[in-house]
Amino acid sequence: MLYFDPAEGWSREEIEQAQVARLRATIAQARKAPIYCNRFDEMGITPDSIQSVDDVRKLPVTTKDDLRAQYPDKMNTVPRKDIVRMHASSGTTGSPTVIHYTQSDLDSWSDLVARCLHMVGVRPEHVFQNMTGYGLFTGGLGLHYGAERLGCLTMPSGPGNTKRQFMLMKDFNTYAAHIIPSYALYLGAALRDMGMAPEELPLGIVVTGAEPHTEEARQRIEKLLGVKAYNSYGLSEMNGPGVAFECTEQHGMHIWEDAFLPEIVDPVTLEPVADGEIGELIMTTLCRTGMPIIRYRTRDLTRFITDECPCGRQHRRIDRILGRADDMLIIKGVNIYPMQVERVLMEFSEVGENYVIELERENFIDQLRVKVEIKEEHFVEDMRVLQGLQRKIASRLCSEILITPRVEIVQHNSLPKSEGKAQRVVDKRE
């Protein structure tokens, strides 16, 4: 079976035909929610407003604040008895963002995740170890249902307890695992510290998602764990995982355009950027029944990869997330994304897997401090050697982000560890 779902193999024409039909149906469904009914009426929008894919631009955008204002369930478009699941963002400030799912939504979500796993070689005869937290976070149950849908032996091992994770991998011959990138780096370092070779693990494939990370971090994960690591993109507003996923080419993530209509726009003007240019990703659900979302502003910055994918799939690819519009740090007037810092750090073979970016204010001037762990075998007592490395890293960072940060090399295992999403930026200003 080449494709898990025939839609994977659709031509551009087939994709766009389906998109137009599904967008029209989505408009009809969405207007059952007052927020869309009002906006559509104001703007004179009906399903007939959509004659081509580009007509999506006529529609209003939806923001995270819109979702918050419709808390807890005012965006639902089916009776409450037809809703069978909810997930929610952690909601550190204000109301959480809540997504409601019908059974049909759960089924199509699971199908999409299964399609992703199948695309990179996961098969029903494999063991899939799901090493992320479950609960309201969509990553855990999303991959769990997808792997089960594919027919894998799905092991809900959850996060943490590193030694036990390795034991389960070995004893059950785990071939594929879902791991948050920062935990994958941590696991890889732990394996090395335990004196084990990656070949001692049966692991062949790691799916990494939920945190933006760099190509350099991926290569580290692959080397440390002896695997192919595939980047997964999702957000709860678009179900969760299963929105876009790398194929075995590992060059950009295919967005499943039969289920989502993506646009990349200038975050200020909301006009489409030129093909291949970086902008904010906007997405519309095409198959959701319980809570369709029109032109959701993800705040994620990426670009379309414009050449044809050698894998043959016609679903367009996006580049790995270059940052969240909201994550952007402004230091001394310069825009900096944490991913730029990570990319530079991971180029240095002496540098370990853990780092933190600290923002400080000194004499009313913002300063950037980068603390980074050195690998155990590269640690030397000679301060001059370490200072030389600090200078080299600072200079490379300066050429990337245009300001010179204070680089501080710290010992292996001295920065706070995380078995969940890592906190890479600490703002100590004020």
User: Footprint of a second copy on this chain (CB under 8 A)?
Assistant: 71-73, 80-81, 83-88, 100, 103, 106, 124-125, 133-136, 140-141, 148, 151-158, 168, 171-172
Helix axes 34-43, 12-30, angle to 10 degrees: 110
Three-point CA angle 202, 115, 129, nearest 5°: 30
Q: For residue 54, what are its two tokens?
A: 């580009």
Which CB sits closer to a second copy, 172 or 379?
172
Helix axes 103-119, 138-150, angle to 10 degrees: 70
Which CB sits closer to a second copy, 168 or 294?
168
Q: How far out from the chain centre does Cα 388 lie? A: 35
Which CB sits closer to a second copy, 132 or 298?
132
Which CB sits closer to a second copy, 124 or 276?
124
Which CB sits closer to a second copy, 3 or 172?
172
Asked if 62 and 68 touch (Cβ cutoff 8 Å), the reply is no
- Provide the minimum distance between the beta carbon of 97 and a second copy in the complex, in angstroms, as a whole number: 13
Closest among 212, 295, 302 to 252, alpha carbons compared: 302
d(CA 243, CA 211): 14
- Provide the minimum distance between the beta carbon of 79 and a second copy in the complex, in angstroms, as a whole number: 9
- Provide the minimum distance between the beta carbon of 288 and a second copy in the complex, in angstroms, as a whole number: 16
Which CB sits closer to a second copy, 79 or 333?
79
d(CA 257, CA 172): 35
- Provide the minimum distance between the beta carbon of 54 and a second copy in the complex, in angstroms, as a whole number: 37
- Provide the minimum distance between the beta carbon of 213 and a second copy in the complex, in angstroms, as a whole number: 24
- Provide the minimum distance between the beta carbon of 180 and a second copy in the complex, in angstroms, as a whole number: 15
d(CA 62, CA 35): 10
Instruction: Specify the pairing of strand 317-318 against strand 176-179.
Output: unpaired
